[in-house]
């Protein structure tokens, strides 16, 4: 069995895996990081989005071996203790979820979006960027609202941290 070594949520991980193991399987089954969900078998839903070297990636679309040496972050990395990440808090405050199944992927996509496109996001941009994330419950309106609010809140957090 091939051996893989990568960093997941700041911790070094090494494991022997079957060569067909997907990154999402490795995260959920080997590491028990079950916040990353599997919502389809066609790479369409985006419930499995994580960050690989700082970019949003559908973790069902790559083998864990392809993440050799990478820095992987999952939804579990965002909150600090009991304090939610500003994007998580924005989803909570703006009712950006119902069943919550799509939410980890939505939030990881949203955090990546802010990193790429900044803190002032219009609805059109957010909707275009959510093309790869499907939600069966909310009708998207509150998800878009949450992401716009979360992007602004992330700017405030960054400014506050810089002032400390």
Binding residues for ligand FES (CB under 6 A): 38-40, 43-48, 58, 60, 97-103, 135-138
- Cβ distance to ligand FES smaller for residue 60 or 151: 60
Nearer to ligand FES, 31 or 155 (CB): 31
Judged by beta carbon, residue 102 or residue 151, the one nearer ligand FES is 102
d(CA 21, CA 18): 6
CB of 162 to ligand FES, least distance (A): 34
Give me Rg for the CA atoms of the chain. 16
69: left (phi over 0), alpha (psi -120 to 50) or beta: left
Is the CB of 38 or the CB of 155 nearer to ligand FES?
38
In angstroms, give the least distance from the CB of 44 to ligand FES: 6
Q: How far is the CB of 136 from ligand FES (least distance, A)?
A: 4
117 burial via Cβ count (<10 Å: 0-12, 13-18, 19+): middle
Give the Å distances, CA to CA, from 17 to 11, 59, 64: 18, 16, 8
């Amino acid at each position: 069995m091939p051996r893989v070594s990568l960093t997941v949520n700041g911790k070094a991980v090494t494991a022997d895996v079957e060569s067909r193991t997907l990154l999402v399987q490795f995260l959920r089954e080997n590491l028990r990081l079950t916040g990353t969900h599997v919502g389809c078998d066609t790479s369409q839903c985006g419930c499995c989005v994580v960050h690989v070297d700082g970019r949003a990636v559908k973790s069902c679309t790559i083998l864990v071996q392809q993440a050799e040496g990478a820095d992987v972050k999952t939804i579990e990395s965002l909150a600090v203790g009991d304090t939610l990440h500003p994007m998580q808090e924005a989803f909570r405050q703006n009712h950006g979820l119902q069943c919550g199944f799509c939410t980890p992927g939505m939030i990881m996509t949203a955090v990546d979006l802010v990193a790429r496109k900044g803190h002032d996001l219009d609805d059109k941009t957010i909707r275009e960027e959510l093309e790869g994330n499907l939600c069966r419950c909310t009708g998207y309106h509150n998800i878009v609202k949450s992401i716009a609010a979360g992007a602004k809140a992330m700017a405030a957090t960054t400014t506050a941290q810089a002032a400390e």
